[in-house]
Structure 1
Protein backbone atom coordinates (compact mmCIF):
# COMPACT_ATOMS: atom_id res chain seq x y z
CA UNK A 1 0.00 0.00 0.00
CA UNK A 2 1.29 3.46 -0.85
CA UNK A 3 1.94 5.94 1.87
CA UNK A 4 -0.82 8.49 1.47
CA UNK A 5 0.46 11.83 0.30
CA UNK A 6 -1.19 15.15 1.02
CA UNK A 7 -1.06 16.78 -2.41
CA UNK A 8 -1.30 20.26 -0.87
CA UNK A 9 2.07 19.71 0.79
CA UNK A 10 3.87 18.43 -2.32
CA UNK A 11 6.26 20.92 -3.93
CA UNK A 12 5.46 19.52 -7.38
CA UNK A 13 1.77 20.28 -6.84
CA UNK A 14 2.47 23.80 -5.52
CA UNK A 15 4.80 24.53 -8.44
CA UNK A 16 2.17 23.14 -10.81
CA UNK A 17 -0.38 25.59 -9.41
CA UNK A 18 2.18 28.34 -10.06
CA UNK A 19 2.41 27.30 -13.72
CA UNK A 20 -1.41 27.43 -13.97
CA UNK A 21 -1.49 30.98 -12.61
CA UNK A 22 1.27 32.15 -14.94
CA UNK A 23 -0.37 30.40 -17.89
CA UNK A 24 -3.66 32.22 -17.36
CA UNK A 25 -1.79 35.52 -16.98
CA UNK A 26 0.19 35.16 -20.22
CA UNK A 27 -2.62 33.71 -22.32
CA UNK A 28 -4.73 36.78 -21.48
CA UNK A 29 -2.26 38.70 -23.65
CA UNK A 30 -2.67 36.37 -26.67
CA UNK A 31 -4.82 37.51 -29.60
CA UNK A 32 -8.57 36.88 -29.17
CA UNK A 33 -8.38 34.48 -32.14
CA UNK A 34 -6.42 32.12 -29.86
CA UNK A 35 -9.12 31.93 -27.16
CA UNK A 36 -10.30 28.50 -28.34
CA UNK A 37 -6.96 27.39 -29.75
CA UNK A 38 -3.49 27.82 -28.25
CA UNK A 39 -4.69 29.75 -25.17
CA UNK A 40 -7.24 27.10 -24.30
CA UNK A 41 -4.81 24.25 -24.96
CA UNK A 42 -2.11 25.79 -22.75
CA UNK A 43 -4.62 26.42 -19.98
CA UNK A 44 -5.92 22.84 -20.09
CA UNK A 45 -2.39 21.42 -20.11
CA UNK A 46 -1.29 23.56 -17.18
CA UNK A 47 -4.37 22.57 -15.15
CA UNK A 48 -3.68 18.90 -15.95
CA UNK A 49 -0.30 18.98 -14.21
CA UNK A 50 -1.36 19.65 -10.60
CA UNK A 51 -4.75 17.95 -11.15
CA UNK A 52 -3.14 14.62 -12.04
CA UNK A 53 -0.70 14.92 -9.15
CA UNK A 54 -3.60 15.51 -6.77
CA UNK A 55 -5.67 12.67 -8.22
CA UNK A 56 -2.69 10.32 -8.02
CA UNK A 57 -2.37 10.88 -4.28
CA UNK A 58 -5.76 9.21 -3.82
CA UNK A 59 -4.60 5.93 -5.35
CA UNK A 60 -3.95 2.91 -3.17
CA UNK A 61 -0.58 1.90 -4.57
CA UNK A 62 2.58 3.67 -5.64
CA UNK A 63 2.26 1.93 -9.03
CA UNK A 64 -1.10 3.63 -9.62
CA UNK A 65 0.19 6.97 -8.30
CA UNK A 66 3.09 6.76 -10.76
CA UNK A 67 0.61 6.42 -13.65
CA UNK A 68 -0.93 9.76 -12.70
CA UNK A 69 2.51 11.31 -12.31
CA UNK A 70 3.36 10.07 -15.82
CA UNK A 71 0.25 11.83 -17.13
CA UNK A 72 1.25 15.01 -15.28
CA UNK A 73 4.75 14.75 -16.78
CA UNK A 74 3.28 14.27 -20.26
CA UNK A 75 1.17 17.40 -19.77
CA UNK A 76 4.29 19.29 -18.65
CA UNK A 77 6.11 18.34 -21.86
CA UNK A 78 3.06 19.18 -23.95
CA UNK A 79 2.82 22.55 -22.19
CA UNK A 80 6.53 23.21 -22.84
CA UNK A 81 5.95 22.57 -26.54
CA UNK A 82 3.08 25.06 -26.55
CA UNK A 83 5.31 27.55 -24.75
CA UNK A 84 7.92 27.15 -27.50
CA UNK A 85 5.23 27.69 -30.14
CA UNK A 86 4.00 30.80 -28.31
CA UNK A 87 7.52 32.20 -28.37
CA UNK A 88 8.21 31.18 -31.98
CA UNK A 89 5.08 32.95 -33.26
CA UNK A 90 5.80 36.06 -31.23
CA UNK A 91 3.12 35.87 -28.53
CA UNK A 92 5.60 36.03 -25.66
CA UNK A 93 8.92 37.76 -25.14
CA UNK A 94 12.22 35.94 -24.88
CA UNK A 95 12.42 36.94 -21.22
CA UNK A 96 9.01 35.40 -20.46
CA UNK A 97 9.89 32.33 -22.50
CA UNK A 98 13.19 31.74 -20.64
CA UNK A 99 11.51 32.29 -17.25
CA UNK A 100 8.70 29.81 -17.96
CA UNK A 101 10.94 27.32 -19.76
CA UNK A 102 13.13 27.17 -16.65
CA UNK A 103 10.08 26.71 -14.38
CA UNK A 104 8.56 23.88 -16.42
CA UNK A 105 11.89 22.07 -16.73
CA UNK A 106 12.32 22.22 -12.96
CA UNK A 107 8.84 20.73 -12.52
CA UNK A 108 9.59 18.02 -15.09
CA UNK A 109 12.72 17.07 -13.15
CA UNK A 110 10.87 17.09 -9.83
CA UNK A 111 8.10 14.83 -11.16
CA UNK A 112 10.66 12.45 -12.69
CA UNK A 113 12.63 12.18 -9.43
CA UNK A 114 9.43 11.71 -7.43
CA UNK A 115 8.40 8.84 -9.73
CA UNK A 116 11.86 7.27 -9.41
CA UNK A 117 11.65 7.48 -5.60
CA UNK A 118 8.19 5.89 -5.59
CA UNK A 119 9.45 3.11 -7.86
CA UNK A 120 12.16 2.24 -5.34
CA UNK A 121 9.74 1.88 -2.44
Structure 2
Protein backbone atom coordinates (compact mmCIF):
# COMPACT_ATOMS: atom_id res chain seq x y z
CA UNK A 1 0.00 0.00 0.00
CA UNK A 2 1.28 3.43 -0.82
CA UNK A 3 0.04 6.83 0.16
CA UNK A 4 -0.93 8.53 3.35
CA UNK A 5 -2.11 6.56 6.36
CA UNK A 6 -5.38 8.13 7.46
CA UNK A 7 -6.50 5.40 9.83
CA UNK A 8 -5.28 2.23 11.50
CA UNK A 9 -7.42 0.48 8.88
CA UNK A 10 -4.88 1.60 6.26
CA UNK A 11 -2.07 -0.28 8.01
CA UNK A 12 -1.20 -3.56 6.31
CA UNK A 13 -0.21 -5.03 9.67
CA UNK A 14 -3.73 -4.33 11.02
CA UNK A 15 -5.36 -5.77 7.87
CA UNK A 16 -3.31 -8.96 8.10
CA UNK A 17 -3.95 -9.25 11.85
CA UNK A 18 -7.68 -9.01 11.12
CA UNK A 19 -7.36 -11.77 8.51
CA UNK A 20 -5.48 -13.92 11.03
CA UNK A 21 -8.20 -13.39 13.65
CA UNK A 22 -10.90 -14.41 11.16
CA UNK A 23 -8.89 -17.49 10.18
CA UNK A 24 -8.53 -18.53 13.81
CA UNK A 25 -12.31 -18.32 14.22
CA UNK A 26 -12.68 -20.64 11.23
CA UNK A 27 -10.23 -23.07 12.82
CA UNK A 28 -11.89 -23.01 16.23
CA UNK A 29 -15.35 -23.72 14.81
CA UNK A 30 -14.20 -27.32 14.45
CA UNK A 31 -12.75 -27.59 17.96
CA UNK A 32 -14.35 -30.09 20.33
CA UNK A 33 -17.11 -28.61 22.49
CA UNK A 34 -15.19 -29.46 25.67
CA UNK A 35 -12.54 -26.96 24.54
CA UNK A 36 -15.03 -24.08 24.21
CA UNK A 37 -14.02 -22.50 27.53
CA UNK A 38 -10.41 -23.61 27.32
CA UNK A 39 -8.23 -23.57 24.26
CA UNK A 40 -10.90 -22.29 21.87
CA UNK A 41 -11.61 -19.15 23.88
CA UNK A 42 -7.90 -18.54 24.48
CA UNK A 43 -7.10 -18.82 20.77
CA UNK A 44 -9.91 -16.45 19.87
CA UNK A 45 -9.06 -13.95 22.60
CA UNK A 46 -5.38 -13.77 21.76
CA UNK A 47 -6.09 -13.57 18.01
CA UNK A 48 -8.56 -10.69 18.35
CA UNK A 49 -6.26 -8.89 20.76
CA UNK A 50 -3.62 -8.35 18.06
CA UNK A 51 -5.59 -6.07 15.68
CA UNK A 52 -7.47 -4.52 18.62
CA UNK A 53 -4.22 -3.37 20.24
CA UNK A 54 -2.86 -2.08 16.94
CA UNK A 55 -6.03 0.00 16.54
CA UNK A 56 -6.08 1.19 20.14
CA UNK A 57 -2.44 2.22 20.03
CA UNK A 58 -2.99 4.11 16.79
CA UNK A 59 -5.73 6.08 18.53
CA UNK A 60 -3.41 7.26 21.30
CA UNK A 61 -2.05 10.77 21.24
CA UNK A 62 1.58 9.93 21.75
CA UNK A 63 4.19 7.76 20.15
CA UNK A 64 5.27 6.02 23.36
CA UNK A 65 1.73 4.88 24.07
CA UNK A 66 1.37 3.63 20.51
CA UNK A 67 4.60 1.65 20.83
CA UNK A 68 3.39 0.12 24.10
CA UNK A 69 0.16 -1.09 22.49
CA UNK A 70 2.14 -2.53 19.59
CA UNK A 71 4.26 -4.42 22.13
CA UNK A 72 1.08 -5.73 23.74
CA UNK A 73 -0.04 -6.86 20.28
CA UNK A 74 3.29 -8.68 19.92
CA UNK A 75 2.71 -10.43 23.23
CA UNK A 76 -0.78 -11.49 22.18
CA UNK A 77 0.68 -12.79 18.94
CA UNK A 78 3.19 -14.95 20.82
CA UNK A 79 0.37 -16.19 23.04
CA UNK A 80 -1.63 -17.11 19.94
CA UNK A 81 1.35 -18.95 18.45
CA UNK A 82 1.70 -20.97 21.64
CA UNK A 83 -2.00 -21.87 21.73
CA UNK A 84 -1.86 -22.94 18.08
CA UNK A 85 1.13 -25.17 18.79
CA UNK A 86 -0.72 -26.73 21.71
CA UNK A 87 -3.80 -27.24 19.50
CA UNK A 88 -1.61 -29.02 16.97
CA UNK A 89 0.09 -31.20 19.60
CA UNK A 90 -3.20 -32.36 21.13
CA UNK A 91 -4.82 -32.98 17.75
CA UNK A 92 -7.33 -30.13 17.77
CA UNK A 93 -5.64 -28.60 14.69
CA UNK A 94 -3.86 -30.40 11.89
CA UNK A 95 -0.24 -29.61 11.11
CA UNK A 96 -1.35 -27.83 7.93
CA UNK A 97 -3.94 -25.69 9.70
CA UNK A 98 -1.56 -24.67 12.45
CA UNK A 99 1.37 -24.07 10.09
CA UNK A 100 -0.68 -21.77 7.85
CA UNK A 101 -1.67 -19.63 10.84
CA UNK A 102 1.80 -19.72 12.39
CA UNK A 103 3.36 -18.44 9.17
CA UNK A 104 0.85 -15.60 9.05
CA UNK A 105 1.61 -14.80 12.71
CA UNK A 106 5.34 -14.74 11.98
CA UNK A 107 4.85 -12.25 9.14
CA UNK A 108 2.67 -10.03 11.34
CA UNK A 109 5.27 -10.18 14.10
CA UNK A 110 7.94 -8.92 11.71
CA UNK A 111 5.73 -6.04 10.62
CA UNK A 112 5.00 -5.13 14.25
CA UNK A 113 8.72 -5.07 15.04
CA UNK A 114 9.40 -2.83 12.05
CA UNK A 115 6.61 -0.46 13.03
CA UNK A 116 7.85 -0.25 16.63
CA UNK A 117 11.35 0.54 15.39
CA UNK A 118 10.02 3.15 12.99
CA UNK A 119 8.19 4.87 15.84
CA UNK A 120 11.28 4.90 18.09
CA UNK A 121 12.71 8.33 18.86
CA UNK A 122 15.77 9.18 16.82
Do they fold alike, i.e. is TM over 0.5? Answer: yes
Q: How does 1:1-121 map to 2 (within 5 A)?
A: 6-120=7-121
For normalisation by structure 2, the TM-score amounts to 0.92
When the two chains are superposed, the root-mean-square deviation of aligned CA atoms in Å is 1.2
- For these two proteins, the number of residue pairs brought into alignment is 118
Hey, which bits of structure 1, 4+ residues long, moved more than 6 A? none
Render the CA deviation track for 1:44-83: whole Å, top value 9, x for unaligned. Answer: 1111000000000111111110000000000000000000
Aligned residues of 2:24 and 2:101 also touching (Cα < 8 A): no
Distance 1:120 1:99 in 2: 35
The offset of 1:92, in angstroms, is: 1.1
Q: Is the 8 A contact 1:5 1:57 kept in 2?
A: no
Unaligned runs of 5+ in 1: none
Structure 2: runs of 5 or more not aligned: none
How far apart in 2 are the matches of 1:90 and 1:8? 35
Equivalents in 1 of 2:107, 2:14: separation in Å? 12
